[in-house]
Copies of this chain bind each other. A is one copy, B any other.
Amino acid sequence: MNRQIVLHSRPTGPPTAANFALVERPMPEPGDGDVLTRTLWLSLDPYMRGRMNDAKSYASPVALGEVMVGGTVGEVVASRDPRFSAGDIVLGSGGWQAYAVLPGRSLRKLDPGLAPISSALGVLGMPGMTAYVGLLDLGRPRAGETVVVSAASGAVGSVVGQIAKLKGCRAVGVAGGAEKCRYVVDTLGLDACVDHRAPGLDEALARACPNGVDVYFENVGGAVQQAVWPLLNQFARVPVCGLIAQYNDPAPRPGPSLWWVLRKRLAVSGFIVSDHPGRSEDFLRDMSAWVREGRVRYREDVIEGLERAPEAFIGLLEGRNFGKLIVRVAS
């Protein structure tokens, strides 16, 4: 039998354990061109909250009773695609389940000798490339400028801040709690990190950005966004990558006044990494080198067992994870 976590009901506001159900279903059979994989690692990411809503977004919602979507690293158990054979380690979209049947053309083979395979879900995968494309192509940071990134210890934010440093910028993080902030400065090497849970966020951020803000890499929205906005310099760029503090809102909340967009000639741009497939070679080349050379560091927050995925995901939306959140589904 296969074990799956399915969407049992749609959340109103923050998701709860009752929105998910662990079910057992017969082991799936690969059709022609398909590959049966055993899930080793499951990635948990904020975008999944959007898929729980019954609203058309850039991707379709998960249907009730369907397996929750998600990126996975798995081991090939059986293959009906000649490019894969049993024992191969592959990156794919297996979802929240112990086994998955996936089209061979949707999989990428990983070389376990090159990098830890779980990093294909983080720094060398979708979150890392999101940081790379969003900061470099939309943020367009120039040496000497100030880059602020929210969720700075997270999967995307931690990479954004380190690339900003590599490009010669002043990099300022915003994170929740003193421990994360210490990590952002001491381990990741950002110039400063402001704790959004401590009182005086606005003042602390202003002190950390004496020359204002030229790039705000937006991951969270909410109070952090409000603190950053008045500090934006003329011609600042705001890549909008995520709004995790607002994902549980019943309706979209208003944004910053376009008056500031006009007055300061801001460039505010939403983006999704999958719109930029042409950058994946550049990303893999650069990021592999940076990680190998120790110039980009990463941290994983490992959850043991598929059955704990719902609880871990609920915690992710509350900022309880510390580093890239992944679930060890099997060893």
Contacts and interface: CB of A to CB of B under 8 A. Distances in A.
A275 interface: yes
Copies of this protein in the complex: 2
Interface in A115-140: none
B259 A265 contact: no
A109 to B, nearest CB: 30
Q: Place the interface of chain A in its size category.
A: 20 to 34
A49 B269 CA distance: 28
A198 interface: no
B258 A265 contact: no
Given A58-B234, A234-B58, A261 B265 contact: no
A246 B258 CA distance: 10
A63 interface: no
A275 B265 contact: yes
Contacts of A262: 240-243, 270, 272
A253 B263 CA distance: 14
Interface string A231-258: 0001100001111001000001111111
Contacts of A269: 261, 265-268
Given A252-B259, A255-B257, A258-B270, 20 more contacts: A57-B263, A58-B263, A58-B265, A218-B258, A225-B258, A235-B275, A240-B262, A242-B262, A243-B259, A243-B262, A252-B260, A253-B257, A254-B255, A254-B256, A255-B261, A262-B272, A264-B270, A265-B269, A265-B270, A267-B269
